[in-house]
Amino acid sequence: MAQMLDGKSVRDKIAVELTAQIAKLDQKPELVIFQIGDVAESNTYIGQKIKFGEKIGAVVTLVKLPEDISQAEVIKEVEAKNQDETVNGIIVQLPIPKTLDKEEIIQTIDPKKDVDGQNSKTLKLLMEGKDCFIPATTQGVLTLLEHYKISLAGKHAVIVGRSTLVGKPTALAFLNKDATVTIAHSKTENLKQETRNADILIVAIGKPKMITKEFVKAGQVVIDVGINVVDQSSETRDQRPEKPKLVGDVDFENVKDIVEAITPVPGGVGPMTVASLFQNLLVAYESQNS
């Protein structure tokens, strides 16, 4: 059976380090999270961020905006937090209502406070291989691999998914670490052949258990970024309503016996994303106060 890449335990280790660093600061670093509308899954992700932030001694301010808010009002809210010197980091929890222009809102975030690395100025720095806030999920993957001493230089990384949130920044960050990178997506032909060629396979698709054992081979490291909420009653013959459960994009049960190392879902990349966000917040605090 594959080695488990345990994001929860690495997150807890990072929490201890961040708590000690924050305890020494004059002021607590503050993260502002904008939540627009009321997507149930966003509530879960935001809850995890608030819980982690409070645990390490940071301030996490949730700004809830109504679903029917205008674009101009959102921009005004973000600009006010840009100007607020007590705020060190700003994120807009995605998804946001389709009536709003996501791009314009994200571009409004001050790059100095862009702790989720989504602003195009930040992404340009990443593309150029310069110092910047690496998007939290990508940074989480890098930190997890580093923790388990899995090197990237010279390795063939195949990334399935090309979103601006996960796939593309992960490809750039891996390239910056001297991996040879292939990006696959929904139009890729012979996906199984591509994924089987990887030394390190990163999956960020959003399709429950799509990567079955036919997509992998022995010796690979598999990083499952996917978080999918599935109805448990559809998985069992038991017709009683069950609590929804989280599964990844990888068919973990069948893949884990083939590959060398794998992240579980939950408990793999998800906790690392939260920890990385707050590592970025601390970097933002330090650069704003130096």
**In the set 51, 121, 124, 185, which binds ligand NDP (CB under 6 A)?**
185
Residues 260-289 contacting ligand NDP, CB under 6 A: 269-270, 273
Which C-beta is closer to ligand NDP: that of 118 or that of 228?
228
Extract the tokens encoding 283: 């970097």
Say whether residue 53 binds ligand NDP (CB under 6 A).
no
Binding range to ligand NDP, per CB under 6 A, among 66-74, 78-86, 122-130, 222-230: 222-230
The least distance separating ligand NDP from the CB of residue 279, rounded to whole angstroms, comes to 14
Q: What is the number of other CB atoms lying within 10 angstroms of the CB of residue 104?
A: 12
Q: How many helices (H) and strands (E) does the chain have?
A: 10, 11
Report the distance separating Cα 46 and Cα 16, nearest Å. Answer: 21
Which C-beta is closer to ligand NDP: that of 107 or that of 188?
188
Q: Which residues are catalytic?
A: 49, 93, 116
Which C-beta is closer to ligand NDP: that of 77 or that of 248?
248
Which C-beta is closer to ligand NDP: that of 77 or that of 205?
205
| CA-wise closest residue to 223 among 248, 189, 206 | 248
Neighbouring-strand partners of residue 120? none
DSSP string, 63-120: EEE-TT--HHHHHHHHHHHHH-TT--EEEEPSP--TTS-HHHHHHHS-GGG-TT--SH
Asked if 137 and 179 touch (Cβ cutoff 8 Å), the reply is no
Per-residue binding string, ligand NDP, 126-165, x by CB under 6 A, is: -----------x----------------------xxxx-x
Chain residues that interact with ligand NDP, rule: CB under 6 A: 137, 160-163, 165-167, 184-188, 191, 204-207, 225-228, 269-270, 273
